[in-house]
Amino acid sequence: MKTVTGALVSIIFLLSLNSGIAKDLESKVGVVEKLGGKIPLNAVFYDSQGKEVRLGDLITKPTVIDLAYYRCNGICTPIMTDVADVVNRIDLVPGKDYNLITVSFNPEELTKDAALKKSQIMNLLKTSIPDSAWRFLTGDSANISELTKAVGFNYDYKNGVFIHTGVLVFVSKEGKICRYIKPGDADSGIDAGALRILPVSFKMAILDASKNQAIPVVDNEPEYCFDGKQPKDKAMVDSWFEYSGAGILVMVAALFVFVVLKPRKVDGTTKNLKS
């Protein structure tokens, strides 16, 4: 009995440790959802033409906010590419039914960075859209911080590299945070391993934002970006979850075998359950 209790305690410990590390990572580098909250409509940024713009003036309809940075070597451009792919697939029209805004959280990026990235992404669209339908913004650290804190987007900066995850934030025209989509790493299907955004989820999120409704949903496991420059750190995080998960499975299997095959005393004699 003591052995069984000890095994159960070990499994519970590993599960809680695994959960604790995941929550700690999310609080430092990840997204803490703030559904129903408001984004800072008075925050000021610069568009891809260098014009100063007030965030609230750009959000005149349901809006998708993509937090990224333009010179990222990791997941930022693939997410923008996937968004462009979804825009091509759904029957809602940018500039009419919703707007998109990509905001760089790197205060060192310039108007030319935003303009180059906008040109690249616009070339992926099958039909032309108004310039105002998808904005690419840059800003200073104060305004960036105000926006990222409002939506719960946490990232870290070490040794010249941003460590972050990807997220799309859907807000109503009033600036209310209505939905989050965290693009996850696809394990199957076409282009396996590419970041995927389901068109139906994207469309439903826009419709929820159009109704000013804050709707929680079950998300993919977020994909963390180390900008392609810190594979050892990423491997360490991935390995922890892989090995701890495998360890838990092994312990559960061992406990099952122990309980099933352990000899039991019946009428003063020891008998194996299989005998």
End-to-end distance of the chain based on CA atoms, in angstroms? 21
Is the overall model pTM greater than 0.85, yes or no? no
Q: Quote the CA–CA distance of 119 and 239 in Å, as a whole number.
A: 38
Cα angle 161, 142, 224; round to 5 = 30
Nearest residue to 137 via CA among 70, 38, 64: 70
- Write the single-letter amino acid at 228: G
Strand pairing partners for 168? Answer: 66, 181
One pLDDT digit (tens) per residue for the chain, 275 residues:
555 555 444 444 444 444 444 444 445 778 899 999 999 999 999 999 999 999 999 999 999 999 998 988 888 899 999 999 999 999 999 999 999 999 999 999 999 999 999 999 999 999 999 999 999 999 999 999 999 999 999 988 777 777 878 899 999 999 999 999 987 644 333 443 455 789 999 999 999 999 998 887 655 445 444 455 444 444 444 443 444 444 555 555 555 555 555 555 555 555 554 44
Q: Where are the alpha helices (DSSP H) in the chain?
A: 2-28, 55-58, 76-89, 111-122, 141-151, 199-210, 231-261
Nearest residue to 183 via CA among 274, 82, 36: 82
